[in-house]
C-alpha cells in the first residue's frame, strides 16, 4: 500500500538527524559485511590462482628430513647428497601412482646478455618438468631428453628474466652467458605469477639438469625431485609409494628417520585456502555483529518513536485503524529505515573494499550474492527489530493512547 | 424511527489494583435517528466511560449495546475498529488532529483504513470541506490554524466516512465563547441538514442548550432524560430554521 510508505517516509523525515543516525548504524553494518566478504573473497581467489600456478598433483621430494633441524650442519650435508638421478629413474619406473618425474637442481647466479646482467635462479630440470608444473611456453620449445643426455647448452627463460635482459627484443636463438659459458635461448615460458609464498616464479632460467650439474655447479647430487601423481586422489598413494621406495633405496632401517621429505604443494596451498576461508568467515561474522548492533539502534529509535507518537496511534485507532494497520505502519517505517541503510551501505561497502584493496595491496572481489544477502539481511534486521516496537504500538488501548500527554 | 443506539442495563467496572470501581451502573437508553442528545453530569458521573462504550473504544462489562440493531458489546478489538471506521465519528475536546499532516490528509484519514480512496470518497471529502468553509486551508497544517478552525477540521474528519453516529466529547472545552457558538452552529447544521445523529458530552448548560434532549448522569446511572428545557424552541431548532 503506497500510503504506508508515504506515512513511513514522512515519519522518517520528521526527525532527520535521528533517522540518519539510525540509518548510519545499518550503513556501517552492511558496508562492513560487504567489504569484509569482498576482501576475503579476493584473498581466496588469489590463493586459488596461485594454487593453479603450482600445477596440479605436484609432489616435491626434498633431500632433508623435516625432523632434522636446519641448523644441524651434519644433517644438511648428509641430506644434500641423498637424492640421486637413480632415485628419479626408480620413482619413474616403479611408483605406479606417479606419472611424471623430473630431477632438479638449482643455484643462484648472474646471467648476462650483451651489456645487461641479472641475478636469478638457474634451475636444472628434466623434460617432464613442464608437464608437472603445467607451465605453457610463450614461444620456442622446451628442454627435451636429448638436451639432458648430451648436456646441451640451451636454456628456457622466465618472463622476468626476459624483461630484464632483453626488454622488448625476441630472445629466441640469442645467446646468454652464465659463468662465461654461452647458452642458447630455445624457449620462453608464459607468465606464472607469484607463488603462495610470495616468490616471483617467473624469475628463473631453466636448463637441462645435467648441464647445471656439470657446466655451472660442478656437482653430482640433486636438489629436489619434482613428481606428479596420476590424479589428485592418488596423491597420498604416490607419497606412500615414493617414501617406501626411497627408504628401501637409501637402505634405511625401520627405526631410522627418512633422509628426505615428500611434500604435496596442494596440502600447503589448501592450508592457506582454509586460513583465508576462516578469515572471511571471521571478518564476515564480526561485520554481521555490527549489522545486528545497527538493528538494535533501529529497535531503540522505533521504541522512542512509538512512545512519542502514542497520541497519533490513538487518533488512528479512533478513526478505525486496526491492530494490523498500526503494526504494518511501524513495521514499514523500520523496514524503510533499514533498506535505506542497506542501499547506502552497499555503496559504502563497495567504496570501502576499493579503498582497502588500493591501500592494502590486497585484491577485493565484490561478490554480488554477498551484496544481495547483506541487503536482504538488513531488511530482515529491520523487520526483526522493528516488530517488537510495532507490535507494542498496535496493542495500545485506544482510550489510553488518546489520553497520553 | 430506527434506533441508532440501544443500551440495555450497561455496567462498566474498572479494576484499579485491588479495588473495583463501578463507572456505569446499569444504564439503559435509546437514541433514535436524527436526534441531538447532550449528556451531562458532574465529573466522575460516568460520562466519559459512557462515551467510550458508545464510541466502541471500550466494551461494557455487563449489559448489551446495539448499534443500528447490531449487538457490538461482545465484538473483538478488530471488529470494533471496523465499526468505528464505518459507523462512528469522533470530535474531541483537544481536536486530536495529526500534526505535520495537512488538513486534507487529516480529513481523509478515516477513509484510508480498510480500503483505497475512491472517487466518490474524494468528491465527498471536497463537499465536506466546502460545507465547513475549509477550502483555503486544505494544504495547511493544524498548527497554522486557530482553535475554531482546528475543531472544524476535526468535525470534517468525523463525518468524512458518513457516520451514523457522531460523538462529541466536550467539543467546545478548549474554545472561547464566540468560537464555541460557531462550532455548535456547525454541529446543529450537520444534525438538521445532513440528518447526522449527534451525542454530545458537556458540562456547560449553554452548550447543552443546543441539543434537543438532555440526559443527566449521576454515579453511573441516568438521573434524568428530558427534552431540552432551556426554551420552548431549542437553540438548534432556531438555528435550523435560520439556516435551512
User: Domain total for chain B?
Assistant: 1
The H or E element spanning position A146 is helix A145-149
**Residue in B77, B78, B110 closest to A319 by CB:** B110
Residue A369, CA distances (Å) to A84, A238, A279, A292, A375 in order: 52, 39, 18, 19, 10
- Cα separation, B14 vs A388, in Å, equals 28
| Interface confidence (ipTM) of the complex | 0.92
Chain A residues with CB inside 8 Å of B109's CB?
A: 315-316, 319
Q: Do A320 and B55 touch (CB under 8 A)?
A: no
> What pLDDT does A211 receive?
92
Beta bridge partners of A297: none
CA gyration radius, chain B: 18
Edge-first strand order for the sheet with B36-41 is B88-91, B165-169, B197-201, B36-41, B213-218, B221-227
Residue A147 to residue A225: CA distance in whole angstroms? 18
Is pLDDT above 60 for A155? yes
Rounded to the nearest angstrom, the minimum Cα separation between A348 and chain B is 32
The DSSP output letter for A117 is E
- Please indicate if any CB of chain A lies within 8 Å of the CB of B112: yes
- Cα(B38)–Cα(A10) distance, rounded to whole angstroms? 39
Which helix (H) or strand (E) segment is B223 a member of? strand B221-227
B72 chain-A contacts, CB cut-off 8 A: none
Chain B residues touching A317 at Cβ < 8 A: 57, 81, 84
A322 at B interface, C-beta within 8 A: yes
Of A10, A312, A323, Cβ closest to residue B77: A323
Contacts of A326 in chain B (CB under 8 A): none
Cα–Cα distance between B205 and A11 in angstroms, integer? 42
Higher pLDDT, A52 or B176: B176
Q: What is the pLDDT of residues A177-235, one digit of tens each?
A: 998 899 999 999 998 887 766 778 899 999 999 999 888 888 888 888 999 888 877 88
Rounded to the nearest angstrom, the gap between the alpha carbon of residue A115 and the centroid of all alpha carbons in its chain is 40
pLDDT value, residue A205? 93
The per-residue pLDDT for B244 is: 42
Q: Does A312 touch chain B (CB under 8 A)?
A: yes
Cell of B211: 441539543
Instruction: Write phi, then psi, for A321 (nearest 5 degrees).
Output: -70, 135
CA separation for the pair A340, A379 (Å, rounded):
9
- Quick check: A314 contacting B, CB < 8 Å? yes
Rounded Cα distance, B96 and B155, in Å: 11
Give me the pLDDT at residue B238, please. Answer: 58
Higher pLDDT, B116 or B99: B99
User: What CATH number is given to the structural domain containing B97?
Assistant: 3.40.50.300
- Sequential DSSP letters for B31-87: EETT-EEEEEE-TTSSHHHHHHHHTTSS--SEEEEEETTEE-TT--HHHHHHHHHHH
pLDDT band at A96 (very low <50, low <70, confident <90, very high): confident
**Are B112 and A7 contacting, i.e. CB atoms less than 8 angstroms apart?**
no
Q: What is the pLDDT of residues B16-67, one digit of tens each?
A: 888 888 999 999 999 999 999 999 998 889 898 999 999 999 999 999 999 9
Q: What pLDDT does residue A71 have?
A: 45
What are the counts of helices (DSSP H) followed by strands (DSSP E) for chain A? 14, 10
**Which residues span the domain enclosing B73?**
3-243
B143 vs A: CB within 8 A: no
Of B52, B77, B157, the CB nearest to A319: B157
- 3-class state of residue A90 by DSSP: helix
Distance from the Cα of A326 to chain B's closest Cα (Å) equals 10
What DSSP state is assigned to residue B142?
Answer: G
Amino acid at each position: 500500500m503506497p500510503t504506508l510508505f508515504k506515512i513511513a517516509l514522512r515519519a522518517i523525515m520528521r526527525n532527520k538527524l535521528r533517522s540518519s543516525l539510525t540509518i548510519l548504524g545499518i550503513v556501517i553494518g552492511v558496508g562492513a559485511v560487504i567489504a569484509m566478504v569482498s576482501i576475503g573473497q579476493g584473498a581466496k581467489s588469489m590463493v586459488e590462482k596461485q594454487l593453479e600456478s603450482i600445477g596440479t598433483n605436484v609432489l616435491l621430494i626434498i633431500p632433508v628430513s623435516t625432523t632434522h633441524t636446519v641448523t644441524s650442519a651434519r644433517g644438511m650435508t648428509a641430506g644434500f647428497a641423498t637424492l640421486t638421478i637413480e632415485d628419479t629413474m626408480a620413482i619413474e619406473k616403479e611408483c605406479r601412482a606417479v606419472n611424471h618425474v623430473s630431477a632438479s637442481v638449482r643455484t643462484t647466479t648472474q646471467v648476462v646478455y650483451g651489456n645487461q646482467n641479472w641475478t636469478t635462479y638457474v634451475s636444472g630440470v628434466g623434460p617432464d618438468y613442464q608437464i608437472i608444473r603445467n607451465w605453457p611456453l610463450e614461444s620456442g620449445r622446451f628442454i627435451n631428453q636429448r638436451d639432458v643426455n648430451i648436456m646441451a647448452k640451451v636454456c628456457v627463460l622466465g618472463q622476468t628474466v626476459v624483461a630484464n635482459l632483453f626488454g622488448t627484443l625476441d630472445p629466441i636463438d640469442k645467446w646468454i652467458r652464465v659463468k662465461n659459458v654461452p647458452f642458447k635461448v630455445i624457449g620462453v615460458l608464459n607468465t606464472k605469477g607469484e607463488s603462495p609464498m610470495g616468490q616471483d616464479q617467473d624469475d628463473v632460467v631453466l636448463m637441462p639438469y645435467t648441464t647445471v650439474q656439470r657446466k655451472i655447479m660442478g656437482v653430482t647430487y640433486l636438489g629436489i625431485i619434482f613428481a606428479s601423481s596420476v590424479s589428485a586422489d592418488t596423491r597420498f598413494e604416490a607419497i606412500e609409494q615414493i617414501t617406501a621406495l626411497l627408504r628401501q633405496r637409501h637402505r634405511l632401517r625401520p627405526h631410522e628417520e627418512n633422509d628426505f621429505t615428500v611434500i604435496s604443494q596442494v596440502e600447503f596451498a589448501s592450508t592457506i585456502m582454509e586460513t583465508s576461508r576462516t578469515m572471511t568467515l571471521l571478518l564476515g561474522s564480526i561485520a554481521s555483529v555490527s549489522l545486528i548492533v545497527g538493528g538494535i539502534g533501529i529497535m531503540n529509535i522505533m521504541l522512542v518513536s512509538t512512545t512519542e507518537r502514542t497520541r497519533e496511534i490513538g487518533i488512528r485507532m479512533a478513526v478505525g485503524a486496526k491492530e494490523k494497520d498500526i503494526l504494518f505502519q511501524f513495521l514499514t517505517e523500520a523496514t524503510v529505515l533499514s533498506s535505506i541503510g542497506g542501499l547506502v551501505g552497499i555503496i559504502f561497502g563497495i567504496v570501502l573494499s576499493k579503498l582497502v584493496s588500493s591501500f592494502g595491496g590486497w585484491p577485493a572481489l565484490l561478490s554480488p550474492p554477498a551484496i544481495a544477502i547483506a541487503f536482504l539481511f538488513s531488511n530482515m534486521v529491520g523487520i526483526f527489530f522493528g516488530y517488537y516496537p510495532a507490535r507494542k504500538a498496535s496493542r495500545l488501548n485506544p482510550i489510553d493512547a488518546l489520553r497520553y500527554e | 424511527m430506527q434506533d441508532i443506539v440501544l443500551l440495555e442495563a450497561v455496567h462498566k467496572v474498572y479494576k484499579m489494583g485491588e479495588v473495583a470501581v463501578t463507572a456505569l451502573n446499569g444504564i439503559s437508553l435509546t437514541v433514535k435517528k436524527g436526534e441531538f442528545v447532550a449528556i451531562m453530569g458532574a465529573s466522575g458521573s460516568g460520562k466519559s466511560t459512557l462515551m467510550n462504550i458508545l464510541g466502541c473504544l471500550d466494551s461494557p462489562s455487563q449489559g448489551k449495546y446495539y448499534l443500528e440493531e447490531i449487538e457490538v458489546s461482545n465484538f473483538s478489538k478488530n471488529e470494533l475498529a471496523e465499526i468505528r471506521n464505518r459507523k462512528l465519528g469522533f470530535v474531541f475536546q483537544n481536536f486530536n488532529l495529526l500534526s505535520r499532516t495537512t488538513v486534507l490528509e487529516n480529513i481523509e484519514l478515516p477513509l484510508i483504513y480498510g480500503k483505497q480512496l475512491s472517487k466518490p470518497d474524494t468528491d465527498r471529502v471536497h463537499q465536506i470541506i466546502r460545507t465547513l468553509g475549509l477550502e483555503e486551508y486544505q494544504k495547511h497544517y493544524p498548527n497554522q490554524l486557530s482553535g475554531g478552525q482546528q475543531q472544524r477540521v476535526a468535525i470534517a474528519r468525523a463525518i468524512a466516512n458518513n457516520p451514523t453516529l457522531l460523538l462529541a466529547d466536550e467539543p467546545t472545552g478548549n474554545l472561547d465563547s464566540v468560537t464555541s457558538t460557531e462550532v455548535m452552529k456547525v454541529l446543529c447544521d450537520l444534525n438538521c441538514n445532513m440528518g447526522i445523529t449527534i451525542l454530545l458530552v458537556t458540562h456547560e448548560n449553554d452548550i447543552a442548550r443546543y441539543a434537543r434532549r438532555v440526559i443527566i448522569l449521576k454515579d453511573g446511572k441516568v438521573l434524568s432524560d428530558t427534552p431540552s428545557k432551556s426554551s420552548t424552541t431549542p437553540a438548534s431548532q432556531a438555528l435550523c430554521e435560520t439556516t435551512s
